[in-house]
Amino acid sequence: MISQATTIAMGLIDLYLIRHLGTSAMGAVAIANTVWAVAYNFLEGIKNGTTSLVSIAVGEKDSQKVSAILNIAMMSAIAIGLLFIIISAPLSTLMFQFVKDPTARLLGRDYLIIRFCELPFRLSFNAVTGFFRGLKNTVLPMMMILTVCAFNAVLDYACINGYWGFPVMGVRGAAMGTVLAYTIGVSLAAVCLYVHRQSRTYLNFRVPLRNYFKETCKMISEVGVHLGLVATATCCFAYIIDDISIQALAAHQIAFKFFLLCYLPPTGFLVTAVVITGKLFGTQQLQLLRHFSRKAAMVSFFIAIMTGGILCYFSPSIAHFFSPKDPQVNLLATQVLYIVAIMQVFTSIASTYRGILTGLKDTRFIVIESLITAYAISLPVAYILTHFFEGGLIAVYWSLLLWSLLDCIVCHTRLSCHYPRVATTIQTC
């Protein structure tokens, strides 16, 4: 959970440190970060997929498989990162060709090109953190990410303003600082791999990869596709809101930031569910899975109720704090924050179920489920309600609530049907 919070914080650091450079700079970084977030989410499977596969292999006590998964994850990270560096210039130009402000277009393009140069280091870093999480060591990845976040703040400040021997780079410095921070981060991760006694056992670069390559790539790609689809759907909802009014967009920015904050505990439950389920699946203790899923869902539900209640209570104050001069934005933000409080309860439970399904290697179902609930149902409902019934921002957030509710129901149904089938398969084998 803290790891996810620091990742969000790194994007906010960039925006905060360039605020004095003007509106064009702020707009360029905001657009670039949106594009970056969508692209990066498609690649998050390297971290989350590695976590699941390593936890299963550890449960199976197959050290050779653990080593192979780590090697394949690192190779995939470097290969994908280098590919994005090669296509970074034309891709960044394409993303910014529709921006009308020429200054923002130039700054945003350069910022995004530099950020893409970060990918080989960041994805390799993610592979290592995912590996340690699969070993049930979540403290070390948290400490590594906190270290990277601290370096990012210092190096951003130095590169933007030209301190400590760095040239004055402005907006480009914000991107360069992050690249340098992750260069340091991946070096730290390599040291941890070689020094930490928990990981040193599995460092074997001569292990054959052929037997594990297909399974590892399948898990990494399917988890990444799911996360990328979710990020893309979120951008589509923002596009629908952008057509409503500027007040609706402002209220959405307020509400969505607090939704992301409320989503941090469910992210922690998802990772925990992946690790524990993978371990139980690897040791074939499937009789405990139903009990664990029920317990995990109950705990996530009660924590979500608490955070939702706090958000409901402070919603008017939050809306007034961020929009003291516009009563329409104030009212809209308050109303959608109430919906967010309800929505994150279902999101929390669905995240726990999704983590269990990932631990069971049922990732293809997660991709299909996301396509149906987000793209076939929730987005069309939001579009119809806003364009034909003038439902406005409230209708969009009711559609988001529908999405989270459907996720919760579908994942629960899948688990209820999936466990007996898996148990029978294991017993037959």
Q: Which residue has the tokens 């919603």?
A: 315
Per-residue pLDDT, 419:
58
The one-digit pLDDT tens for each residue of the chain (429 residues) are 455 556 666 666 766 777 677 767 777 777 777 777 788 888 888 888 888 888 888 887 888 888 998 999 999 999 999 999 999 889 888 888 877 778 878 888 888 899 899 899 999 999 999 899 888 888 888 888 888 888 988 998 898 888 887 888 888 888 899 899 999 999 999 999 888 888 888 888 888 888 888 888 888 888 888 888 888 888 888 778 767 777 777 777 778 777 877 777 777 777 778 778 777 776 676 667 777 777 777 888 888 888 888 888 888 888 887 777 778 878 888 888 899 889 888 888 888 888 888 888 888 899 999 999 999 999 999 999 988 888 888 898 999 999 999 998 998 888 877 655 444 433 333
Residue 348 sits at φ, ψ, to 5 deg, of -65, -45
Going by C-alpha positions, the residue among 325, 327, 339, 340 that lies closest to residue 258 is 340
Structure tokens at 75: 């190779």
Cα–Cα dist 265/4, whole Å: 10
Q: Which amino acid is at 349?
A: I
Going 413 to 341 to 393 to 391, the CA torsion angle's sign is positive
Q: Which of 235, 100, 117 is nearest to 176 (CA)?
A: 117
The pLDDT value given to residue 78: 93
- Residue 90 makes CB contacts below 8 A (sequence gap 6+) with none
Tokens describing residue 23: 């509106």
pTM: 0.80
Query: Which pLDDT belongs to residue 121?
Result: 93
**370-377: which pairs have CB atoms within 8 A and are 24 or more residues apart?**
370/226, 370/229, 370/230, 370/233, 370/407, 371/229, 372/410, 373/403, 373/406, 373/407, 373/410, 374/229, 374/230, 374/233, 374/403, 375/229, 375/233, 377/402, 377/403, 377/406
Q: What six digits make up the tokens of 80? A: 């994908």
Neighbours of 386 (CB within 10 A): 21
Distance, CA of 23 to CA of 26 (rounded, Å): 5
Q: What size, in residues, is the chain? A: 429
**What type of residue sits at position 200?**
R
pLDDT of res. 422: 44
Q: Which residue has the tokens 């089938």?
A: 421
Quick one: three-class SS letters along the chain?
CHHHHHHHHHHHHHHHHCHHHCHHHHHHHHHHHHHHHHHHHHCCHHHHHHHHHHHHHHHCCCHHHHHHHHHHHHHHHHHHHHHHHHHHHHHHHHHHCCCCCHHHHHHHHHHHHHHHCCHHHHHHHHHHHHHHHHCCCCHHHHHHHHHHHHHHHHHHHHHHHCCCCCCCCCHHHHHHHHHHHHHHHHHHHHHHHHHCHHHHCCCCCCCCCHHHHHHHHHHHHHHHHHHHHHHHHHHHHHHHHHCCCHHHHHHHHHHHHHHHHHCHHHHHHHHHHHHHHHHHHHCCCHHHHHHHHHHHHHHHHHHHHHHHHHHHHHHHHHHHHHCCCCHHHHHHHHHHHHHHHHHHHHHHHHHHHHHHHHHCCCHHHHHHHHHHHHHHHHHHHHHHHHHCCCCHHHHHHHHHHHHHHHHHHHHHHHHHHHHHHHHHHHHHC
